[in-house]
Amino acid sequence: MKAGRTTVGNEQKPGFLTKERIIAQPGFNRWLAPPAALAIHLCIGMAYGFSVFWLPLSKAVGVKAPVQCEPGIGFIQELTVTHCDWKISTLGWMYTLFFVFLGCSAAVWGSWLEHAGPRKAGVVSACCWCGGMLFSALGIHYHQFWMMLLGSGVIGGIGLGLGYISPVSTLIKWFPDRRGMATGMAIMGFGGGAMIGSPLAAELIKFFATDTDVGVMLTLIVMASVYFVFMMAGALGYRVPATGWLPRNWRPPDSTKVGSMITKNHVNVKNVFKIKQFWLLWGVLCMNVSAGIGIIGMSSPMLQEVFGGRLIGINKLYGELDKPQLAAIAAVAAGFTALLSLFNIGGRFFWASLSDVLGRKLTYMVFFVLGCALYVSIPESAGQGNILLFVGAFCLILSMYGGGFSTVPAYLADLFGTQMVGAIHGRLLTAWATAGILGPVIVNYMREYQLSLGIPQQQVYNQTMLILAGMLLIGLLCNLLIRPVAKKWYMTEAELAEERQLSHEKIADIDSINSVTHTKPSHPLIVLCAWLAVLIPLGWGIYKTLLSVKSFIS
């Protein structure tokens, strides 16, 4: 993956996708950068909503009902079997691969992204994510699960990683005065992608379903086509500021103050694994995500098992309910899950923006101290049957879970500088991959262990909440130990100049910084249209989610 160049006569000119071509000209409005990032993140965020396909795909052969495979067929055979349906547990491996390859691709190609620029990375992400969906659709046509794993899981997962980190460095450089808010806007889009994609997929499946087809293949083809248009528009809309550009009337904070957590210097990504601050922040992210992600997948069954019939005004335990009553509380729990998703999305923007005021370290201290107190309070509120306190605690926890994702890029920029923050962020996402295994394992296996001891279903999560609170205390300790990076790790002027040459950067002159950039702004109508293009689908997704929440509140 190298930036391409074209030759005209004896002069080399940068190719269409190279970083040199997207250095912003004087007059570019920086508020055009966030919609470009959102256009990509709202599409790849559908990874969170892929479970909407599991149920129809589990009866892709039988259509009306699943065709069970004979007992001797295991996972390996299911990769190529054509005469029987896939189990939902088998289909779930696609979800696992999404986030494994997201973390791996972000870590492996983060440095390439810094040199190639966000446009090329966005285009590659669009081709991988949408191409993977199309290959999965072909796998459904031939009923070959290995094609679905390769298409969406591997190729799509690579697209996820590149798309996820593509705007980080760009937005931080456009908004040095509001780093948290800038990254919060983009990463909010990743959380919101499922809010748009899941109901859209459900409507398309219903439209394409026939007596002989469950409708998923055509749904994937349509969604891949729509996503490709949006992602390409976002990728081609990226612009990067010239080196040295600053917002008008703003100057960087004094980094020479004792204890300042914001540096003007820059760390090379090749050295971050040697720096203790990186590993402390790795622990901060891993513990925060583990505690949150562990309850996301179990939020619906947890509410049902803890409160049982009280969710619908019946004084019965979960195990005492009949099928219609179980269906009724499942509908209520679905609304609870939708409510959590709203707090997850809102928290990504709220907490990241607040970190611009509080500082990144203090914001994470709030996450850990408040989160620990909330986890400890959950068994008590559950024992008292206080649904309001129980739900309120989880809503706050999920807001801080999302806020942890959106605040960490700004934390990295504060500590390690902005030059290679995208690549460093890619390396840090290995903490997400670890948390994606650690959190669910703790919650699921602790539940099974508690049940094996004969503990009632409404109490099986009590010990788990205390364990998750303990994990947050570990994260708090890691956060308290973070100090400014030692000077020996900063790039020298010569190393920085070499890195900027590799990244094909253009140095802004003082006139561009202080006057020209602000005298010829982009037309306001262009900015408005860019924002409407991403806010309209996001608003539709929020509306559909609120409809689900209504069933819970009522």
Averaged pLDDT, groups of 10, the chain, 554 residues long? 50 74 88 95 91 88 89 86 87 83 90 90 96 96 94 94 91 91 90 89 92 94 97 95 85 64 90 96 94 76 82 83 82 81 92 94 96 92 86 92 94 93 93 83 77 78 87 96 94 88 63 45 87 94 86 68
Contact call for residues 241 and 500 (beta carbons, < 8 A): no
pLDDT at 271: 94
Contact call for residues 145 and 80 (beta carbons, < 8 A): yes
Contact call for residues 110 and 424 (beta carbons, < 8 A): yes
Dihedral over Cα of 341, 347, 350, 353: its sign: negative
29-241: what CATH class? mainly alpha
Asked: is 265-490+497-508 a CATH 3.40.50.720 domain? The reply is no
Q: Which helix (H) or strand (E) holds 498?
A: helix 493-502
pLDDT at 511: 47
- Which residues, in sequence order, are bridge partners of residue 12? 7
pLDDT at 499: 85
- Burial profile 108-132: b = 16 or more Cβ within 10 angstroms, e = fewer: ebbbbbbbbbbbbbbbbbbbbbbbb
Can you tell me which residue has the tokens 């300790």? 477
- Which residues, in sequence order, are bridge partners of residue 54? none
pTM: 0.86
Do 29-241 and 265-490+497-508 show the same overall fold?
yes
Query: What separation, in Å, do the N-terminal and C-terminal C-alpha atoms of the chain show?
Result: 53
Q: What is the DSSP letter of 241?
A: P
Sequence-distant (≥ 6) Cβ neighbours of residue 89 within 8 angstroms: none
Domain boundaries, the chain: 29-241, 265-490+497-508
Can you tell me which residue has the tokens 């979960």? 318
Sequence-distant (≥ 6) Cβ neighbours of residue 90 within 8 angstroms: 75, 78, 145
Q: What is the DSSP letter of 68?
A: P
- Rg of the chain over Cα atoms, rounded to whole angstroms, equals 24
φ/ψ of residue 241, rounded to 5: -75, 155
The length of the chain is 554
pLDDT at 518: 43
Number of C-alpha atoms within 13 angstroms, CB side, residue 187?
32
Sequence-distant (≥ 6) Cβ neighbours of residue 182 within 8 angstroms: 33, 34, 171, 172, 174, 175, 410
